[in-house]
Structure 1
Amino acid sequence: MIYRKVRTNLSRTLSAIEQDKATSDDYVKCILADPQIAAYIVQAVVEEFKDMEIDEIIPCMGEPTVTLRFPERLGVKVQNTGSESVDEEDGKIIYDIKFPVYYKGKKKEFIINIEAQKSSKKSKLGYKLENRITYYMGRMISEQKGTEFSGSSYDDIKSIYSIWICMDIKKTDDSIIEFGMKSNLIYGKIKIIPKLSKINGALINVRTRTAKNRELSKNRLIAMLEELFSKSEFLEKKKILEEDYGLKMSVELEGRMNEMCNVSDYWEEVALQTGREEGRKKEQVSLIVKKIKKNKTMAEIADDLEEKEEVIAPIYEAALSMKPDYDVEKIYELLEKNKKLA
């Protein structure tokens, strides 16, 4: 693999927790870029490879470039080679994983991009993920100008696939969604409608499997990814991946899986604590809202809850700004926003 270091958030120093979280993400990228795992993904998404075995697909794949936040923590050597594109806002589009795949020798070449995405929810991202996928697909085509083709040699454009793997899906929502351009005849008669096959994308929705008795996905790729990123005990997970999915555990893959589990366990403990604190805060907001609806003053509410008025004041004022709906979730979001602005 070719590794590059992603230089983001340069305006501030990342906390220890943020560094651990980013390191966990780095391990996920390296695991997804493993030739066996990547071959499973290519087999499931790229039409030309659907009838091929994993062992047949691996030799068709070029060396992947993987971008990492903390490569030094993974003990890998960084190489200065391209896996980024120009973006008007911040100057770069960073691809998690990118590699070429060749069909029937080099007669047909594909450029594959795999993105590990913890969430697909607009409420967390601030945008619809499908719009970002569309942008990535467009950039993967336009950036070929001057590298894969020049002038008006548009027939030399390589087909691209931007494949996004999301890991926060409900237990019944495991799925693979295909994106792409299509052509339709709006008027007239024509024997052959031009096929647009250069721009392709996919969204693979993987459930987080925490319970051992959860039913496996009926899709083989998703079931394998669920097991790969499950909370199962490491040796049990390794055995299942080897016996049920034919993965050969190299020292590198096994080590990264084990380290990912260790970092993820620590991050989950932090996230659990954060979740508890959020729950307590929302409960406090809910109590204050109930008292506001009873026309109680801030002083009366502080007295009832045995809190100082300066503690109650921000919640009281935020709640009043939401009158008459008093939506607890929106009040909490406003409080968090005000905290960041303070």
Structure 2
Amino acid sequence: MNTELKNAVLATDLKAQYDACAKKLLGYKDILARILIEAVEEFRGISPEEVKSLIEDDIQIGKVPVDSGITNVIVGVDEDGKEIIGMNTVNEELNAGYILFDIIFYVRLQDGHSKIIINVEAQRKEPTEYDILNRAIFYVSREISSQKNREFVNSNYNDIKKVYSIWICMNMPEDSMNHIHLINDTIIGNQIWKGREDLVNIVMVGLAKEISAKEEKYELHRLLGTLLSETLKEEEKLDILKNEYHIPMKKSIKEDVKIMCNLSEGIEERGIIKGKAELLKQQVQKKLAKGKSIEVIADELEEEVADIKVLIDELEAK
């Protein structure tokens, strides 16, 4: 495998590990609680500790398929012999071809009975191959449609649970937050149609490249920016999480922050290596155009003759 391709493969692998680590960090209840307080109306003004206690333990990270027909699975039968349907989880090693929710979980309301289904998605940058809001609409629609036979049966549509799909998009031009939901526009008459207009909710959270200032309105953005930063050092991240957000510094979260920082350094290092390799290739190409021999080029660039031969072979193969 040539040097450039090898570096690209290694960088891709590092980014995949980084993304997995980011999802794991976002999946901690202490972090999810603060996301819910800012993004979900029902939890505004409630303490992080109380919201944390309302989050159910079965938080699925990168395991539940989005695809139609496979989000649910039969998990057993009840005492009357009826099938019990739950969320389908797939083996992470065997999920090729599946689109998976990054994070999906249930959170109870303060009444202790009602629940909301929450999906959190993390994006390192806004995609260019499709409009991200269209994907969010697809995900939130699946959160609704997959409740059939799991949350409600037959025509009991009043049992549908409210859903949120919260998208955290990094490397955006500015900090932002938008709530996209159903609006009832009256066109003719004054008919009041029964039903809930608040069932479907999308929240788009944009994180600027630079970490937000320490201001109340940017509280969530600063937390997420710190957590997902590719430039902050481990000590800086832990200091902000502990002293500004009072997040308990458990051994597991410390280890995951350390892993993420190491992966960030690896991605940066691979980028530098790739950049240096590209510059070296350009220099070799210019010297070849001047008719210089491999030995002279190697001497002038202070590189091994064998390495220059590899680069020339790569240039000629293009």
Q: Which secondary structure state, in structure 2, belongs to the residue aligned with residue 149 of structure 1?
A: coil
Q: Do the aligned partners of residues 98 and 275 (structure 1) sit closer, same or farther apart at CA in structure 2, a change above 3 Å counting?
A: farther
1:106 is displaced (CA, Å) by 3.5
Q: Per the alignment, in what secondary structure is the counterpart of residue 62 of structure 2?
A: strand
Contact 2:37 2:43 in 1 (8 A): yes
Match of 2:168 among 156, 165, 169: 165
* Aligned counterpart, 2:150: 147
How far 1:93 moved relative to its partner? 3.0
Cα drift, residue 195 of structure 1: 4.5
What do you get for the CA RMSD once the two structures are aligned? Answer: 3.1
1:61 to 55, 59, 69: 55
Does the CA-based 8 Å contact 2:213-2:222 persist in structure 1? no
Matched, 1:183 2:177: no
SS in 2 for 1:145: coil
**Alignment coverage as a number of residue pairs:** 254
Q: 1:94 aligns with which of 78, 95, 100?
A: 100
- What is the match of residue 137 of structure 1? 140
The residue number in structure 2 matching 1:117 is: 123
Contact 1:180–1:199 (CA under 8 A) maintained in structure 2: yes
1:40 aligns with one of 34, 45, 48? 34
CA contact 1:174–1:205 (8 Å) conserved in 2? yes
User: Which amino acid is the alignment partner of residue 32 of structure 1?
Assistant: L
Offset at 1:272? Answer: 4.1
Structure 1 residue corresponding to 2:289, chosen from 285, 292, 306 = 306
Aligned partner letter, 1:141: I
In structure 2, stretches of 5+ residues that fail to align are 1-7, 64-85, 91-95, 292-317
Q: Residue 186 of structure 1 aligns to which amino acid in structure 2?
A: I
Q: Look up the match of 1:247.
A: 247
Shift of 1:305: 9.4
Counterpart among 13, 30, 33 of residue 19 in structure 1: 13
The amino acid of 1:258's aligned partner reads: K
Bigger relative CO (Cα 8 Å, ≥ 6 apart): 2
Once the two structures are superposed, residues 79-107 of structure 1 have per-residue CA deviations (whole angstroms, 9 ceiling, x without a partner) of x97247xxxxx963301111100102433
Report SS of the residue matched to 1:93: coil
Partner of 1:262: 262
Query: 1:264-289 deviations in whole A, cap 9, x for unaligned?
Result: 110122234446778999x99xxxxx
Counterpart pick for 1:82 among 71, 88, 98: 88
Amino acid at match of 2:124: K
1:203 aligns with 2:186: no
Q: Deviations over 1:167-200 (max 9, x none)?
A: 1112xx1011111222111111246885411111
Seen in structure 2, the aligned counterparts of structure 1 residues 272 and 304 have a Cα distance that, compared at 3 Å, is: closer
- CA deviations over 1:227-271 (Å, ceiling 9, x no partner): 222322212321221111111111001100011100111012223
Mapped to 2, the partners of 1:51 and 1:227 lie a distance apart of 22
Which runs of no fewer than 5 residues in structure 1 stay unpaired? 1-13, 69-79, 85-89, 285-301, 309-341
Which residue of the partner structure matches residue 156 of structure 1?
A: 159
CA change 1:187–1:243 in 2 (3 A) is same
Whole-Å separation in 2 of the counterparts to 1:51 and 1:127: 36
- The 8 Å contact of residues 60 and 105 in structure 1, kept in 2 or not, is answered as no
Q: Percent identity?
A: 30
Establish whether residue 51 from structure 1 lines up as the match of residue 45 from structure 2. Answer: yes
Who is 2:220 aligned against?
221
Q: Is the 8 A contact 1:183 1:193 kept in 2?
A: no
1:331: which partner in 2? none
TM-score (norm 1): 0.66
- 2:114 is matched with 108
Whether the 8 Å CA contact 1:83–1:95 is kept in 2: the answer is no
CA contact (8 A) 1:208 1:229 kept: no
- Tell me the TM-score normalised to structure 2 length: 0.71
Q: Aligned partners of 1:21 and 1:307: how far apart in 2?
A: 39
Q: Which residue of 1 aligns with 2:300?
A: none
Amino acid at match of 2:250: S
